[in-house]
Amino acid sequence: MFNLDTRTIFFRFVFFLITMSALRSVDSRHNSRQSSCFAVDPTNTLTDRLNIALNSSTNGYVLSLCPNTEYPVEAPIMFAFPDQEISTEGYPTDDSRATILINGALANDGSGQTTAVDGTCVASAPGSCDGVKLRNVQINGARNGGSPVTGGGNVEMGGSNANQLVEYVRSYNPRGWTCMHIDEGALSCNNITVQNNDVGPCGTDNFQEWADGLSISCQNAIVENPTDGGIVLFGAPGTQVYNNTIWVVNQTLLGGINMVDYEPWSGNYTNTVVYNNTILGGFSNEVELANETDGTNSNDVIIKLGIAIGPRTWFGDEYGNNVSLSGTVHDNMFSGAFSYAIGMSSAKNFTVENNILLENATFIGLRGPNCSSDDTTPNPAAFVIDQSTVSASTTQSNFTSIQGW
């Protein structure tokens, strides 16, 4: 069958040569490009060199990191002028993205570096970090199972600035309280887009060693991501949260999307819309062993509250009669194990409609291990509401009424 005449062999040989020279030229282009990305060595001056690159340049400077390279930093890398960008050369979206590794020493009292990149320009005039972009990098917070450290998140963006962009960032393993914090500044942060980031795992599910996935307190944010870890909306009026997928792997998640915080926006969720997100609780798809009596396995994790609305669902009576105000939650989807898909208590002027259960949604886990006998927790159910503290709201018809939440 392989009746190759000399002409075919000749063409194959020419093709081979062309292919090889094309590969060589790709290779040399690659090399010359690599020389223009930011050199990691010498690492003992790396943190200063990165900061000087940003603070001695001006608007629009692009700090281009090398693919497949780990940048260990001893202090946060600070954006310094409007429209600056930190990204990996060639904008890869896979594991070849540069990794910024938090490498600052931890003191004996547990304090130390928690932030890798800071785009808040907190020490400069408002607007100094307008339009900055963090794109296509990985951030490893290097907590590695240790105790939480006091300080900011792996990534601190927002502040008194507008029009920032965070995309294709993988953020995980934070020492601090969150994988990514979009800060409100002097309640003047506006219009940040947070999209296509993969976030998590963040924190552990050990008592008070939790961390958020995304913590958003900037108004008019757009949030669209996959996350292994929750999204917390601190009021953040005007924020659109859609097309996110939130799941658990092997750590229980207390809240998938939280609309519970009274601070810093006095519970104001006006024009905040949470829609078309998919929230996946625990899945038990391992074969049961003969010696297992109660189904215990290393993956016995759930999401307690898929979407939590109102401070009382989270904090009990800590915020008195304060409420979450004027948000909209529609067309979200739930599958897997939860205690509640949506829990609603202490809310006003909310619209909650058309949220649906996919296959295999179950509601379990009435009492946590630390509940005292006089703590009241509602029976697990899909959609639960305490009508006595919810007013002026439109809710889908199949909420289960509960009391005393």
Ligand X SMILES: *[C@@H]1O[C@H](CO)[C@@H](O)[C@H](O)[C@H]1NC(C)=O
Cα separations in angstroms, 45 against 35, 74, 112, 154, 258: 18, 10, 19, 21, 41
For residue 21, with 0-12 CB atoms within 10 Å meaning exposed, 13-18 middle and 19 or more buried, which class applies?
A: exposed
CB 139 within 8 A of CB 100: yes
| Both tokens assigned to 83 | 């429209």
Using CB under 6 A, which residues numbered 312 to 341 contact ligand X?
319-322, 326, 335
d(CA 196, CA 244): 9
Point out the residue whose Cβ comes nearest to ligand X: 320
Q: Which of 9, 22, 23, 249 binds ligand X (CB under 6 A)?
A: 249
Which range binds ligand X by CB under 6 A, 4-12, 102-110, 147-155, 270-278?
Answer: 270-278
Q: Report in angstroms how near the CB of residue 221 gets to ligand X at its nearest.
A: 10
Q: Which of 35, 108, 285, 373 binds ligand X (CB under 6 A)?
A: 285
Examine residue 144 and tell whether it contacts ligand X (CB under 6 A). no
Examine residue 364 and tell whether it contacts ligand X (CB under 6 A). no
Examine residue 388 and tell whether it contacts ligand X (CB under 6 A). no
Q: Which of 250, 297, 388, 391 binds ligand X (CB under 6 A)?
A: 250
Nearer to ligand X, 43 or 163 (CB): 163
What is the distance of C-alpha 165 from the center of its chain?
14
Examine residue 284 and tell whether it contacts ligand X (CB under 6 A). no
Nearer to ligand X, 26 or 364 (CB): 364
- 332-342 core/surface letters (b: 16 or more CB in 10 A; e: else): bbbbbbbbbbb
* Window 293-312: contact mask with ligand X (x via CB under 6 A): -----x--------------
Examine residue 31 and tell whether it contacts ligand X (CB under 6 A). no
Dihedral of alpha carbons 203, 208, 214, 218, sign: negative
Q: Which of 23, 356, 366, 371 binds ligand X (CB under 6 A)?
A: 356
DSSP state of 387: G
Closest CA to 117 of 89, 94, 88: 88
Residue 240 pairs in a beta bridge with 222, 273
Q: Report in angstroms how near the CB of residue 370 gets to ligand X at its nearest.
A: 4
Q: Which of 191, 239, 244, 346 binds ligand X (CB under 6 A)?
A: 191
Q: How far apart are the first and last CA of the chain?
A: 79
Q: Report in angstroms how near the CB of residue 297 gets to ligand X at its nearest.
A: 10
Q: Is 346 helix (H, G, I), strand (E, B) or coil?
A: coil
Dihedral of alpha carbons 12, 17, 23, 25, sign: negative
d(CA 326, CA 320): 18
Nearer to ligand X, 14 or 356 (CB): 356
Examine residue 271 and tell whether it contacts ligand X (CB under 6 A). yes
Q: Which of 199, 253, 302, 382 binds ligand X (CB under 6 A)?
A: 382
Examine residue 51 and tell whether it contacts ligand X (CB under 6 A). yes
Examine residue 44 and tell whether it contacts ligand X (CB under 6 A). no
Examine residue 387 and tell whether it contacts ligand X (CB under 6 A). no
d(CA 381, CA 84): 48
Examine residue 354 and tell whether it contacts ligand X (CB under 6 A). yes
Q: Which of 93, 276, 377, 387 binds ligand X (CB under 6 A)?
A: 276
- By rule CB under 6 A, what count of residues binds ligand X? 43
Q: What share of the chain is helix, strand, coil (3-state, %, to 5)?
A: 10, 35, 55
> In the complex, which residues of this chain contact ligand X (CB under 6 A)?
48, 51-52, 55, 163, 165, 191, 193, 207, 219, 237, 242-243, 249-250, 262, 266, 268, 270-271, 276, 285, 289, 291, 298, 319-322, 326, 335, 349, 354, 356-360, 369-370, 382, 396, 398
